[in-house]
Structure 1
Amino acid sequence: MREESGRATAGLRRRDVLRAGAAGAAIGTAGLPGLAQAQAQAQAQGRGRIAFANGSAFDTMDPHATFDVGRVAYRLNLYDGLMRWLDNPPKIEPWLAESYTVSEDGKRYVFKLRQGVKFHDGSDLTADDVVYSMERILSIGKPVTALFTPLMDRGSTKALDRYTVEFNLKSASAIFIATLHDLYVVNSALVKRNERNGDWGQEWLSRNDAGSGSYVLQRFDPARGFLARRYNQHFLGPAGLEEIDFRYVAEVNSRVLGLIRGDFQGTDPYMPQDQIARLQADPNMNVMEAESTRLFYATFHHQRPPFTDLNFRKAVSHCFDYDGWINNILGGSVVRNTQVIPNPMWGAPKDVAGYTYDIDKAKWYLQRVQVPLREITVAGMIGYEQSMQAAALLQNGLARAGVQSKLLNEPFPVVSNKFRDPAQMYDMLFLWRSTYYADPHNWAGEMLHSNRRGNGNNGYYSNPEVDRLLDQALATPDQARRAPLYEQVARIAAEDAAALCVHNGKWYGPFRKNVQGVRFCPIGDGQEMRWLRIT
């Protein structure tokens, strides 16, 4: 079997990877700090400390237990993966990997690991740890499990030698490299010593650290957050801050006031536009802005009447005041997104008109609903003000159309647990689909494919034609051939009223001005702390 090497660059087609290899270009560490840079960073390391206010609670420290942006900070800062998404526009770069090769059929990937990488307990990170980490992900049945189970079976990952690992896919996949950011590698020997009754160490790892990342866990309290200290033996050299303190602060006002007072040096951007404007007006604040790919939408529960009826879904879609939301409540800071793929992403169709706020149309569709109507539950997420505001705005439109509804707001850890159970999942939920990998499948595939129901497809949507098109897109390495397939999926989903798509947003990163070096990437939302320093 002939294998070739190529540079790991976001959006690169597999045949381009093979061509690059044929030309002798190895997949290396382009985009990462070189040795001289790492040494300079180490010499310039400060004793700074950052307290970061997070709107979502940290209920676990297990890197394989969560797959969301709200709790991404501990995964990014305590653990490393084979690849990492960096910067904006995002680029996928080798991280623990030095290089990799891909077979001609696109099903076999062989990675060479960096040598000399140490876990936080001083032991070597080897291919056995990568194999164990993938096996653990595939076995424990958490949200990230569903990212990899369509691609590979348990037992298909092999350690060829101490620093070489082989992945054998069920079929060629255009997104495999893109997903490896989320293969966080754990210290297999340490976790195995703490396994109980075959639990893969889940109970122990939920409150302990088995990583090799830039920071070492010092304290974890689900009610408060986590504290971590710089790991000076990290393979890229010491990070710029000595300590990072991520605190759970549910109320937006408390996060903003704490930032203004200097109790916090940074906070997440999930807040109303008036609070962003308040911070922008403060001379001690630096509110960074960046284009992003983050879809705000609401789920429909497709397995529960009356949402099983297309006419009801279309009626509800006409009850949301999109213009009032974007122009009045959010002050024009976001852009209408009429379908499931963010507008700036390739594969997003430009001809989907979408739904408008039209109560007369809503009533017209309601008259054609063939199932009994009832009071529906519209949910928002505590700590995410826009989610709760949008739920309230929709309730107003539903009332005008004659649809009874009630609001229910719950914290994200509760919400995420309900995703996986159709009996517990809400009738509707306002949330974001963030960028976990920079590919249209991150939205269309994860939100719509029937094999992702309960793990991304949180509305339990199913359409055989959509599944067929998505499978075809995954098996196609050429971006130019994949793009029209995703466009077709987005059009079908819009006509199906698969979800209530609202807007694509910007990233607003609020930090105090003495925080320098913030390196925003849509994957991770700018919460990787190793680049930061306090001046």
Structure 2
Amino acid sequence: MDVDRRTFLLTGLGVAGAVVLGACTDNAEDGSSAGEESSPATGDGSEPVQRPTLRLGAISGDWGLPSPFTHQALPGYLRMSLLYDTLLWADSTGELLPWLAKSFERSTDGLTYTFQLRDGVEWHDGKPFTADDVAFTFGYYANLQLPFTVVGQPQNVAEVKASGDTTVEVRLERPAVTFPVLVAGAVPIVPRHIWESVRDPLAVADPKLLVGTGAYLLDSYSSADGTYKFSANDDYFLGRPFVQGIEFPPVGDELTALQAGDIDAGQTPNNGVRDDVLAPLRADDSLGVIEDKAGFAYPLYFNAANGGPLADVRFRQAFAHAVDRNDIVERLVGGNGAPGSPGFVPPDHPFFSDPEQYPYDIDEANRLLDDAGFTRDDGGTRIGPDGPLQFGLLFQAEASALVDLLVPALAEVGVELRPEATDGPAGLFSRKFSRQYDIILLFFPGPVGPGPGGDPDYLRLIFATSPMPTFFTPDGFASPEFDQLAAEQLVATDPDKRAELIGQMQDLIAEQVVVLPLYYADQFFAFRTEVFDQWYYTPTDFPSAAAYNKQAFITGTMTGTAIRPTT
């Protein structure tokens, strides 16, 4: 495992002692940082340029009022994050930058983080931002029952105390190397003087409450068509934001809208694209295209909790051998992806351990089914103790091409799949959560992230028995050994030790095959270079959605906190 291939600061920041973020000196208070390099796409960045306004698709639609408590899923978090700030924030390197906090210190036992906050930060209404607001935010969240689709909710926080105006102490329930990114870098801080009197933020949809410290202000929002318009907060504590306006108009297919000139940037569908779709984008000199390897996964879940053949590991292993995952990648996305790994983590991930892959092998699939006692009838269908091996296969309509490959593949070994399409993700995930399925094809990440490229602690959140069940929790899988490994990796500050533990977690998952990722789809993002060219996929894969990271909008660069000069 090459854990150095991508910066995973959530492990690297696990050491005790003081941490000055983003290699920034104290002059980061005025928006400059030490040792920062300009992106090649913008030359040396010294010549002032005109401030752009961006029109974005960003999964068009209504994602809720952009408050920390009413936004929906990652697209809603993206819009909300323009108004509100976190203690830390990641840039294109994955490095955590000083945001509302300029530094922090971690205790030797890993349970306490002490943050030093920036001086002189103000809320949009001009009132001062203080440590008391941070302590209030965590306490306020702790007393709420929010839907899981609200991104950025604090986890594993026992207590937060303010000391003076600029010092905050966060005490965790248990050590977690993921805390800097998944909590300090994701929880939006809200003002006490606005929310203290609001008992139920879910019941209040008043834009007047949207007072943050963020780089942008909400000009308008329409729930009817999902239109959002933001303008720059020129009094922002880092300086005047590079991008002066951000609009989210209602659009259909984002690439079509981009080519028609209706938006300035758009992304490919989650299930991936072939090169013939990308060719006109790459041939257009006015457009740039960036890529995110294995940005989306399509895992198949077996409901082992129902017993019968689905609970027999030999059946699940045979299923894996019967599916040619390399052929799936070639047929569906023309190679713009990777075959699914039974260990869930994609092959290009720095923590990938190459667990058992169950290569395409019809003979081995038949042998396993024979050994399990599933004999064939005269028509070739295999028979189990309760009758023919016939299973419902639930999927979202957009995955129909993938299902069309699965059905004949399993028929070849005597297993009948009966496809059932849902109209949208809501119905799909509802059936999964209520266990009303035999086999179900999901897409990962779902509404709240992080995705396949994120911190591999997602294995704990999905497969361990201790967290609350999620839409991605496999039904019928429980392993004390896995739970122990998951707990150990969460506190492992040594990257090599953590990689070893996560590798063992992948081996256990792959051995049981309660989930079979079929393929990972590469994601592509196209943009009009004359409008804005500093796009990137954030290595931490959370909470920034797709290629939309507000750090680039604010600074006009891909790294650091220094803002590119504008006219």
Q: Taking structure 1 as the reference length, what is the TM-score of the superposition?
A: 0.81
Alignment of 1:31-50 (within 5 A): 34=28, 35=30, 37=32, 44=48, 46-50=50-54
In the alignment, is the contact (CA less than 8 A) between 1:92 and 1:178 conserved in 2?
A: yes
CA-CA distance at 1:346 after TM superposition: 3.7
1:528 aligns with 2:549: yes
In the alignment, is the contact (CA less than 8 A) between 2:391 and 2:439 conserved in 1?
A: no
User: Taking structure 1 as reference, are residues 36 and 423 closer, same or farther at Cα in structure 2, changes over 3 Å only?
Assistant: closer
In the alignment, is the contact (CA less than 8 A) between 2:73 and 2:149 conserved in 1?
A: no
| Residue aligning to 1:81 | 86
| Residue aligning to 1:4 | none
Q: Deviations over 1:83-131 (max 9, x none)?
A: 112114x222332111111112111111111122222333322222222
| Residue aligning to 2:14 | 14
User: Taking structure 1 as reference, are residues 149 and 96 closer, same or farther at Cα in structure 2, changes over 3 Å only?
Assistant: closer
1:235 aligns with 2:237: yes
| Residue aligning to 1:326 | 329
**2:287 alignment partner AA:** M
CA-CA distance at 1:44 after TM superposition: 4.5
User: Taking structure 1 as reference, are residues 302 and 168 closer, same or farther at Cα in structure 2, changes over 3 Å only?
Assistant: farther
CA–CA distance in structure 2, aligned partners of residues 148 and 164 of structure 1: 21
| Residue aligning to 2:534 | 517
CA-CA distance at 1:150 after TM superposition: 6.0
In the alignment, is the contact (CA less than 8 A) between 2:273 and 2:336 conserved in 1?
A: no
Q: Deviations over 1:161-192 (max 9, x none)?
A: 22221111122222211212221112332233
1:176 aligns with 2:188: no
**2:508 alignment partner AA:** I
Q: 2:487 aligns with which of 471, 481, 502?
A: 471
User: Taking structure 1 as reference, are residues 122 and 484 closer, same or farther at Cα in structure 2, changes over 3 Å only?
Assistant: same
| Residue aligning to 2:562 | none
| Residue aligning to 1:422 | 434
In the alignment, is the contact (CA less than 8 A) between 2:357 and 2:510 conserved in 1?
A: no
Alignment of 1:398-477 (within 5 A): 398-400=410-412, 401-412=414-425, 421-423=433-435, 427-433=439-445, 435=450, 440-455=455-470, 457-460=472-475, 461-477=477-493
Q: Is 176-185 or 517-526 further displaced after alignment?
A: 517-526
CA–CA distance in structure 2, aligned partners of residues 526 and 480 of structure 1: 29
Q: Taking structure 2 as the reference length, what is the TM-score of the superposition?
A: 0.77
The DSSP-based 3-state class of the residue aligned with 2:499 is: helix
Unaligned runs of at least 5 residues, structure 2: 1-7, 34-43, 375-383, 557-565
1:91 aligns with 2:92: no
Alignment of 1:257-406 (within 5 A): 257-270=256-269, 271-273=272-274, 274-291=276-293, 295-304=297-306, 307-338=310-341, 339-356=343-360, 358=362, 361=365, 364-365=368-369, 368=374, 375-380=391-396, 385=398, 387-400=399-412, 401-406=414-419
CA-CA distance at 1:389 after TM superposition: 3.7
CA-CA distance at 1:74 after TM superposition: 1.3
Alignment of 1:200-215 (within 5 A): 201-204=201-204, 209-215=210-216
The DSSP-based 3-state class of the residue aligned with 2:11 is: coil
1:219 aligns with 2:220: yes
Identity score, percent: 19
**1:229 alignment partner AA:** S
User: Taking structure 1 as reference, are residues 441 and 256 closer, same or farther at Cα in structure 2, changes over 3 Å only?
Assistant: closer
Number of equivalent positions: 506
Q: Deviations over 1:234-278 (max 9, x none)?
A: 2222222222122454x5xx3222111101111123342243334
CA–CA distance in structure 2, aligned partners of residues 399 and 78 of structure 1: 53
User: Taking structure 1 as reference, are residues 132 and 462 closer, same or farther at Cα in structure 2, changes over 3 Å only?
Assistant: farther
The DSSP-based 3-state class of the residue aligned with 1:450 is: coil
User: Taking structure 1 as reference, are residues 407 and 122 closer, same or farther at Cα in structure 2, changes over 3 Å only?
Assistant: farther
**2:263 alignment partner AA:** F
Q: Deviations over 1:407-427 (max 9, x none)?
A: 3244446656666x4356884
CA-CA distance at 1:494 after TM superposition: 0.6
| Residue aligning to 1:3 | none
CA–CA distance in structure 1, aligned partners of residues 163 and 499 of structure 2: 36
| Residue aligning to 1:5 | none
Q: Is 407-416 or 506-515 further displaced after alignment?
A: 407-416
In the alignment, is the contact (CA less than 8 A) between 2:258 and 2:265 conserved in 1?
A: yes
Q: Is 481-490 or 450-459 further displaced after alignment?
A: 450-459
CA–CA distance in structure 1, aligned partners of residues 450 and 416 of structure 2: 33
- Mark the structure with the bigger radius of gyration: 2
Q: Is 139-148 or 473-482 further displaced after alignment?
A: 139-148
The DSSP-based 3-state class of the residue aligned with 1:14 is: coil
CA-CA distance at 1:453 after TM superposition: 4.7
CA-CA distance at 1:512 after TM superposition: 1.8
In the alignment, is the contact (CA less than 8 A) between 2:10 and 2:179 conserved in 1?
A: no
| Residue aligning to 2:136 | 132
CA–CA distance in structure 2, aligned partners of residues 376 and 228 of structure 1: 46
CA-CA distance at 1:490 after TM superposition: 0.3
**2:174 alignment partner AA:** S
| Residue aligning to 2:117 | 113
The DSSP-based 3-state class of the residue aligned with 2:21 is: coil
1:185 aligns with 2:154: no
CA–CA distance in structure 2, aligned partners of residues 426 and 263 of structure 1: 43
User: Taking structure 1 as reference, are residues 413 and 66 closer, same or farther at Cα in structure 2, changes over 3 Å only?
Assistant: farther
CA–CA distance in structure 1, aligned partners of residues 128 and 100 of structure 2: 12
The DSSP-based 3-state class of the residue aligned with 1:143 is: coil
**1:50 alignment partner AA:** L
Q: RCO (CA 8 Å, sep 6+): is it higher in 1 or 2? A: 2
| Residue aligning to 1:27 | 20
CA-CA distance at 1:517 after TM superposition: 2.0
CA–CA distance in structure 1, aligned partners of residues 362 and 206 of structure 2: 47
In the alignment, is the contact (CA less than 8 A) between 1:80 and 1:184 conserved in 2?
A: yes
User: Taking structure 1 as reference, are residues 346 and 103 closer, same or farther at Cα in structure 2, changes over 3 Å only?
Assistant: same
User: Taking structure 1 as reference, are residues 423 and 499 closer, same or farther at Cα in structure 2, changes over 3 Å only?
Assistant: closer
Q: Is 318-327 or 172-181 further displaced after alignment?
A: 318-327
| Residue aligning to 2:516 | 500
CA-CA distance at 1:66 after TM superposition: 6.3
